[in-house]
Amino acid sequence: MEDYNTLTLDTERLRLAPISFIHCNETYLKWMNDPETIRYLETGGSYTMEELRNYIENAVNNKIYFWGIHLKSNGKHIGNIKIDPINYKHGYGEYGILMGDRDEWGKGYAKEASSVVIEFCFNVLKLRKINLGVAADNKNAVSLYEKIGFIVEGILKEHGFYGGKLCNVLRMAIFNKGNL
């Protein structure tokens, strides 16, 4: 298998390149401080460049499967996607995605990037399951995950504080039928 730091994944319109210090820039920092972009994220807001650099350094040093999502047409960095942590003993990983560039929202890029990462997790890493947590109020994300094949496994009542109010968090999963 390729090294974490060189493993790229391609789709029709996207190139997923491993997160590295080239991604540590004002654009990414702006995403992490944009209230609309981070509305349903666990982290973000009041981020500094040093915190972003430390976050990326941690991902690189800990060999996390973490990619920047880039448009093939012009190389523009529009978001990030990762599987972390991975529990190889039990065969599952935790999925996360950030579509940071609001100009690119609603164009199907999140679904395209998610599909190739899920395929990689099932076919290369041989995981049997991918999990995620999502605020129930984040209707666009819930709809995306359901279209990809995720199902709700549980509901954590009033678990997160998003958009100024307590929200339920859905725990969702997709299963690799070939590795059960």
Sign of the CA dihedral running 21, 22, 23, 27: positive
Write phi, then psi, for 117 (nearest 5 degrees).
-70, -40
47 is an active site residue = no
Task: Establish whether the linkage from the previous residue to 18 is cis, with ω within 30° of 0.
Answer: no
The residue count of the chain comes to 180
- Helix axis angle for 109-123 and 139-148, nearest 10°, is 40
**Helix (H, G, I), strand (E, B), or coil: what is residue 14?**
strand
Which DSSP helix (H) or strand (E) runs through 159? strand 151-162
Q: Which one of 65, 92, 109, 145 is the catalytic residue?
A: 145
The residues annotated as belonging to the active site are 145
